[in-house]
Amino acid sequence: MKPLQTHIYRNIVVLTGAGVSAASGLSTFRGPDGRWQHELLAVSDGHRVMEMLPEMWRAYGKARANLSGVQPNAAHFALANWQQKWGAERQITLVTQNVDGLHQKAGSSDVTEIHGSLLESRCTNPHCESKPFFDREIHTEVPMCRVCGAPLRPNITLFHEALPLDAITRVKRALRDCDLFLSIGTSGVVSPASEFVRAAIYAGARTIYLNLTPLDGPSPFAETLVGRAEEILPAFLD
């Protein structure tokens, strides 16, 4: 495996998924073997948010509590150091499907979280003027919005819900003239990752897929690196 040679790229987009956080001892809730996955899945139906709020806060409260003891691993640190080293002279857009905040904890700034964040809450009232906010409190009862008094919910994209529009817009803009697209620790064939790689190919980018297992069937990616993100990234990201 040759190191990346970051200096030849101008506009890089990196997508990360559960595989990046696996070595930290947790999987995001869409991942294959999250310890709190079951409980979270049961309360993650976007069609039933309002009726599920008390159970949702119990489950997400536990997940938040869990998260406070979890540390970033070598994959998160490698990405953060790489961004710091190279990010001043080129655009590096870090996009994650993870909701665990571990990229930020490792020192990455400007992380685009397309599934939201376990460490944020937001108002359920669509007409409320409040914005999602940082909230690490473990709520035992449904918390209420300080602006409009409606119940709050975790700022996480649930099943049947659309991805946050501003985050998706930011990613699409970056993909439009990207010359390198890296997909790390995520299957890459599920939407929106599958659309991201197609957009990157359309823009003429080099496309690299890094995951524990190669994709089944024909891969849209030009190159594949098989292995653990925390083992490969420190050497690969020069």
Nearest to Zn ion of 145, 201 (CB atom)? 145
Query: Is 205 near Zn ion (CB under 5 A)?
Result: no
Query: Is 6 near Zn ion (CB under 5 A)?
Result: no
Distance from first CA to last CA of the chain, Å, rounded? 12
Query: Is 147 near Zn ion (CB under 5 A)?
Result: yes
- CB–CB of 178/200 below 8 Å? yes
Least distance from Zn ion to the Cβ atom of residue 75, Å: 36
Distance CA 83, CA 78 (A): 9
Judged by CB under 5 A, the stretch of 57-65, 115-123, 160-168, 177-185 that binds Zn ion is 115-123
Least distance from Zn ion to the Cβ atom of residue 94, Å: 30
Query: Is 128 near Zn ion (CB under 5 A)?
Result: yes
Question: Of 125, 187, 219, 224, which one interacts with Zn ion (CB under 5 A)?
Answer: 125
CA-nearest of 189, 191, 238 to 218 is 189
Q: Which residue has the tokens 């409980």?
A: 39
Mention every residue, 6+ apart, whose C-beta is less than 8 A from residue 25.
Answer: 70
Query: Is 142 near Zn ion (CB under 5 A)?
Result: no
Question: Of 148, 190, 212, 235, which one interacts with Zn ion (CB under 5 A)?
Answer: 148
52: number of CA atoms within 13 Å, CB side? Answer: 17
Least distance from Zn ion to the Cβ atom of residue 123, Å: 3
Judged by CB under 5 A, the stretch of 59-67, 129-137, 168-176, 222-230 that binds Zn ion is 129-137
Query: Is 123 near Zn ion (CB under 5 A)?
Result: yes
Given 47, 115, 127, 139, the catalytic residue: 115
Write the single-letter amino acid at 161.
E
Least distance from Zn ion to the Cβ atom of residue 161, Å: 18
Could you confirm whether 115 is annotated as catalytic?
Answer: yes
Please name every residue paired with 184 in a beta bridge, in sequence order, or none if there are none. 16, 210
- CB–CB of 116/165 below 8 Å? no
Query: Is 144 near Zn ion (CB under 5 A)?
Result: no
Mention every residue, 6+ apart, whose C-beta is less than 8 A from residue 203.
Answer: 175, 176, 177, 178, 179
Distance CA 229, CA 73 (A): 10
> Which residues form the interface with Zn ion (CB under 5 A)?
123, 125, 128, 130, 145, 147-148, 150
Catalytic residues: 115
